[in-house]
Amino acid sequence: MAPHPRIQIKPSVLWIHILVWLAFFMIPLLFIESASGRERFMIMGWFVQFLTALYFYYNYLYLVPRFLLKKKIGPYVFMLLLGLVVLSALNILFTLVTAGIVEHRHPFNLWRASTFPVYPAILAFALSSAVRIILEYFRNERQKKEMEAEKLVAELAFLKSQVNPHFLFNTLNNICSLARKKSDQTEHAIIKLAQIMRYMLQDSQDESVDLAKEVEYLQNYIELQRLRVFGKVAVVFSVEGNPEQFSIAPLLLIPFVENAFKHGVSYQDETEIGITIRTLKKKLIFKVENTIIRQKEEQVGPGSGIGLKNVVRRLDLLYPGRYELDIREENNRYRVELTINYEI
């Protein structure tokens, strides 16, 4: 059986309850002028107020969480009425017991004794139900947001974990190609890969990194790719503005660059790849443009779109409503323009 929802009362909230009930018990004395009236109220009135407080917490701590929140309306109404009967019985008994103690009291009246505590109890029922339902609503909303935040963190971690193997697989293929050619650049490529992996294993574990570090990471990647496609593709990489003043989610831009090298390199024709990072006052503009090599489409494996799909999903999660992504093909050129606004 699932546990009943409970409210954990903080010390500050506990003091609020205490002060409210103290005011509830003491303020009526300010409006009673005669000493006999105060004496009568301090015995008869305080007992009724005690029954009111008892009914408040009976509904607040027990009935609402056990029945009302579980939509057991029938048992809830029955237990409410049963509580009123108990309050009436207690007040009748108390009135009879104090018959010879309280002076200047009204003559005993069964109807009055049985109904007198009902009216404040109805008010206590309304207030306790409203307070508990409101608190449960905010508690559920807080739990929902916490669950959404945990889900977001888990999804981002999963997407980031997919980026690393995808990049590593491609880069190792490049180094393998250099090794087969017995290129003198193989050692240099391995050193560059080590620098890239150091960034991926250390800095990329943070939620955000300095844009300057991400730029350095892209430069290393591009240099590694140049070793493979030297003489076959013209690569232009430019940075405008001051990247030191910005931060960005790590490994967010690399899938676009990977995609340009994957689909924009030909072993027969001269091709071009242009990559630009531009920083404005509160905006980052990232552009990638490459020649479209149609025959490459037949060589693309079934997982070739993973990188771009992941980066779009990460943008949705990290920069909701704060980014624009324009991808288009024009004049045999593939163009990507990503704009991230750092304030709305």
Predicted confidence at residue 284, as pLDDT, reads 94
Average pLDDT over residues 30-57: 67
243 has pLDDT over 60:
yes
Structural domains of the chain in order of their starting residue, each with its CATH number: 11-116 (no CATH), 148-341 (3.30.565.10)
Query: pTM for the whole thing?
Result: 0.55
| pLDDT of 313 | 85
**Cβ–Cβ contacts within 10 Å for residue 183, how many?**
16
Q: Residue 7: is its pLDDT beyond 60? A: no
- On whether the CB atoms of residues 26 and 45 are closer than 8 A, the answer is no
Q: Contacts by 57-64 with C-beta closer than 8 Å and gap 24+?
A: 57/128, 58/83, 59/83, 59/124, 59/125, 59/128, 59/129, 59/132, 60/128, 60/129, 60/131, 60/132, 61/7, 64/128, 64/129, 64/132, 64/133
Tens of pLDDT, residue by residue over 295-309, are 544 444 444 455 677
Measured distance CA(7)–CA(298) in Å, rounded: 61
Q: What is the C-alpha to C-alpha distance for residues 129 and 315, in angstroms, rounded to an integer?
A: 43
Mean pLDDT of the chain: 78
pLDDT digits (tens, 9 = 90+) for 140-175: 888 878 777 666 666 666 666 555 565 677 678 878
CA dihedral over 171, 174, 179, 185, signed as positive or negative: negative
Among candidates 285, 301, 11, 337, which has minimal Cα distance to 170?
Answer: 301
